[in-house]
Chains A and B, each alone.
Chain A
Amino acid sequence: MAKRKLQEINAGSMADIAFLLLIFFLVTTTMESNYGIRRKLPPLEDKNSPPPPVIKQKNVLEIVINGQDKMMIEEKPEKVENVKKIAIDFITNNGKDPKSSDNPQKAVIMIKHTRETSYKMYISVYNELTAAYNDIRNRYAKQKYGKSFDKLTEDEQKAVKDAYPQKIAESTPKR
Chain B
Amino acid sequence: MAKFSKKKDSGTPAISTASLPDIVFMLLFFFMVATVMRENGERKVSVKMPSADQVKKIEKKGLASYIYVGTPIKKYQSKYGKEPRIQLDDAFASVSDIGPFVLKEKAAKREEEKPLMITSIKADADVGMGIITDIKEELRKVNALKVNYSTKKGEVTVNFK
A contact residues vs B (CB 8 Å cutoff): 11, 14-15, 18-19, 21-22, 25-26, 28-44, 80-81, 113-124, 126-128, 130-131, 134, 172-173
Contact = CB atoms under 8 A, between A and B. Distances in A.
B31 A172 contact: no
A137 B160 CA distance: 28
B119 to A, nearest CB: 9
B90 to A, nearest CB: 15
B55 A123 contact: no
Interface residues of B, number: 56
Interface stretch (B7-15, B97-105, B109-117, B123-131): B123-131
B34 A130 contact: no
16 contacts: A25-B35, A28-B35, A28-B40, A30-B39, A32-B36, A34-B150, A36-B149, A36-B150, A40-B145, A40-B147, A115-B133, A118-B128, A119-B126, A120-B160, A123-B50, A124-B159
Closest 6 CB pairs of A and B: A115-B130, A25-B31, A120-B125, A127-B52, A120-B50, A130-B54
Nearest to B136: A41
A175 to B, nearest CB: 8
A124 B146 CA distance: 19
B20 A37 contact: no
Nearest to A173: B133
B56 A38 contact: yes
Interface in B27-83: 27-28, 31-32, 34-37, 39-40, 50, 52-58, 61, 64, 69
A18 B28 CA distance: 7
Nearest to A35: B55
Interface of B: 17, 20-21, 24-25, 27-28, 31-32, 34-37, 39-40, 50, 52-58, 61, 64, 69, 120, 123-130, 132-133, 136-137, 139-141, 143, 145-153, 156-157, 159-160
Contacts of B129: 113-119, 122, 173
A36 B32 contact: no
Given A25-B31, A35-B153, A36-B150, A80 B160 contact: yes
- B21, B146, B150, B156 — which one has the most chain A CB atoms within 10 A of its CB? B156
A22 B24 contact: yes
Contacts of B139: 41
Given A25-B35, A35-B56, A115-B129, A15 B24 contact: yes
Contacts of A127: 52-54, 151, 156
